[in-house]
Amino acid sequence: MKCPFCGHQDTPVVETRLAEDGDLIRRRRQCGSCEKRFTTYERPEVNFPAIVKKDGRRIEYERVKLRASMNLALRKRPVSTEQVDSAIERIEEKLLGFAQREIVSSRLGELVMRELKKLDKVAYVRFASVYRSFEDIDDFKLLVDEVNK
């Protein structure tokens, strides 16, 4: 692996351990040139279903996009990174469990909303209000009433 600081190719592993319930491996490396240390993570490569958008386009599932949309809804909310990571893991387990080559984006959106509702009700309302494209205040009120039950 190339050193992120100086670009040197010789970066031997100095420590290896399991992380996140054994689903990935954390490796500490040290550059042979600048001697700085950095961490890499190794996870098995799996094939997630393609996401079918409303307009019919098919795109690859990207964990980074999922995290970004959840983080946007969770902005300035008291939810830890570990909680978000766990929610993403649960969503990905469900995606793989469907055992399908494609999944409509609305189904993924529903999975995200379910996880956000467990994490933080304000984030849930934020995400749902954009995701469901509310047309008027009555739609928004219905969602808030649902959350308050």
Q: What is the pLDDT of residue 148?
A: 75
Judge whether 5 and 31 are in contact, CB under 8 Å: yes
Query: Quick one: pLDDT band at residue 137, thresholds 50, 70, 90?
Result: confident
Q: How many residues does the chain have?
A: 149
* Overall pTM > 0.75: no
Cβ-based burial of 109 (10 A; exposed 0-12, middle 13-18, buried ≥19) = middle
Q: Which of 28, 18, 20, 147 is nearest to 92 (CA)?
A: 20
Query: Quick one: pLDDT band at residue 20, thresholds 50, 70, 90?
Result: low
Mean pLDDT for the chain overall: 90
Q: Which tens digits make up the pLDDT trace of 32-65?
A: 999 999 999 888 777 899 999 999 999 999 999 9
Alpha-carbon distances, residue 16 vs 21, 45, 81 (angstroms): 15, 19, 22
Q: What is the pLDDT of residue 119?
A: 94
Q: Which of 27, 21, 22 is nearest to 40 (CA)?
A: 27
Query: Quick one: pLDDT band at residue 136, thresholds 50, 70, 90?
Result: confident
Query: Quick one: pLDDT band at residue 128, thresholds 50, 70, 90?
Result: confident
Q: What is the pLDDT of residue 132?
A: 72
